[in-house]
Amino acid sequence: MGFDNLTEKLTLVFKRLGSKGKLIEEDINIAMREIKLSLLEADVNYTVVKKFISRVSERALGVEIMKSLTPAQMVVKIVKDELVQLLGGSESSLNLKKGRLNIVMLCGLQGAGKTTQCAKLGVYLRNKKYRPMIVACDIYRPAAIDQVEILGKNSNIHVFSDRTVDDPVLIAKNAVDFAKKNEYDVVILDTAGRLHIDEKLMTELKNIQSEIKIDESLLTIDAMTGQDAVNVSKTFSESLNITGLILTKFDGDTRGGAALSVKETTGCAIKFIGVGEKLGDIEPFRPERIASRILGMGDVLSLIESAQENIDKENAEKMAKKFQENNFDLDDFLSAFNQIKKMGSFRSILSRLPGLGNLNNFDFDDRIIGRVEAIVLSMTLEERRNPKIICPSRKKRISKGSGTRVEDVNNLLKRFEEMRKVMKEINGKGGFFGKFNLFSKLRK
């Protein structure tokens, strides 16, 4: 998840504060210096850091401690409140309305993941009961139209393209007419990107905005480019009417400087974050939840929402009953495992649990999951239902069939037996760790 490094450093700062029964001004000043350093190392804009530390210091030194909080907890609360404001204050929703045609234009530099975000946004809007259509307006980049057509096919979203027209503005106009006739209610324009910002790019985007009534102009920026992302955002927002940002590769950015800087420096709100490679891996940007993740407090609400959207309720209820009865076999595990996989990577899931925001010290790889699945599927039905019958000769057969080592089979069986012992606590942290440890001991 984004912010892993920052989360680790801030956790240490607050841990040191918490070890003190009473805070004096010197303690707060030391903590502020450490937080400032942590933010700068996270590639947060210097001016933004300076203002942030000033606001937190002013509140921390002049605050009356609430009865329900210790001094250290109060400082954490102040930091969280200010982080929420820094990230935008509240969720900034798309300006779309049901019952009419909505036009969304995505723009940005080449390589930021703009075309992929068009498909992801289409999937997101379809899940919200809209009928979206993507328009291929990039006529310059080789195979750009092919790419968006493949993404449209994979996501089952219609793509409007016209290889006979060399004017992006005309393509966009024709697409809008097509959408009206065919009852699409959201048109997503995939515009051309450039390796760098140039006059021709900006003129083309301005022409589209002037010729078509755009409801949302979303700038796609790469979170991993740090301060460069902020500079790109400033340039675009100064030249165009940018209504919001999509921050891509958010899950791969361990520093988080772009997300923490961009709203303060450009005034543009982040509306979505890309959190993985799958077409469903896009989330609305919710400042309060992100602030909680940064401080290691987790984001259980988003985890619950993801579970509600991806996990089959009937299967989940059956599984819960088996958990309670401690009647859980390897077939059940595989079924539960496949349900959880729909929610995203295990790193993403764990990062949303309180106390697990920083995963740098965990040694795991989602590819291990494939090996676990291969091992279980290489067992007979009888072996999955009663793992105790798996003797050395059976283990050798299973390892050969799954392309793994006998040691991997032994580790899986050992961890599975450990997990069964804590089935009644599966909804608690201990139970979840039991499931996690099942994978962490296997070979990468």
Measured distance CA(99)–CA(82) in Å, rounded: 38
Judge whether 91 and 286 are in contact, CB under 8 Å. yes
Nearest to 247, CA basis, from 284, 295, 302: 284
Strand locations in 148-250, DSSP E?
158-160, 186-190, 216-222, 244-248
Q: What tokens does 319 get?
A: 């599984």
Strand locations in 41-91, DSSP E?
none
Measured distance CA(368)–CA(399) in Å, rounded: 14
Judge if pTM exceeds 0.85. no
Measured distance CA(242)–CA(93) in Å, rounded: 14
pLDDT of residue 309: 59
DSSP assignment, residue 223? G
Task: Using 70 as the pLDDT threshold, list the residues of the chain that sit under it.
Answer: 1-4, 20-21, 63-69, 252-256, 297-327, 336-337, 339-368, 419, 421-444
Q: What residue spans define the domains of the chain?
A: 4-86, 102-295, 303-440
Measured distance CA(178)–CA(139) in Å, rounded: 19
Q: What tens digit of pLDDT does each residue of 221-276 get? A: 988 887 788 888 888 888 889 999 999 988 766 566 778 888 888 888 999 998 88
Measured from the Cβ of residue 221, the count of other Cβ atoms closer than 10 Å reads: 29
Strand locations in 89-235, DSSP E?
102-107, 132-136, 158-160, 186-190, 216-222
Buried b (16+ CB within 10 A) or exposed e, 173-208: eebbebbeeeebbbbbbbbbbbeeeeeebbebbeeb
Measured distance CA(82)–CA(87) in Å, rounded: 9
What CATH class is the domain 102-295?
A: alpha beta
- Give whole-number Cα distances, 298 to 39, 258, 266, 342, 354, in Å: 19, 20, 28, 20, 4
Q: Which CATH superfamily is 4-86 part of? A: SRP54, nucleotide-binding domain (1.20.120.140)
Q: Which CATH superfamily is 303-440 part of? A: Signal recognition particle, SRP54 subunit, M-domain (1.10.260.30)
- Give whole-number Cα distances, 374 to 90, 114, 403, in Å: 44, 35, 8
pLDDT of residue 317: 65
Cα angle 147, 153, 158; round to 5: 100
302 Cβ neighbours under 8 A, 6+ residues apart:
283, 286, 289, 352
Measured distance CA(261)–CA(257) in Å, rounded: 6
3-state secondary structure of 159: strand
Measured distance CA(70)–CA(15) in Å, rounded: 13
DSSP assignment, residue 83? H
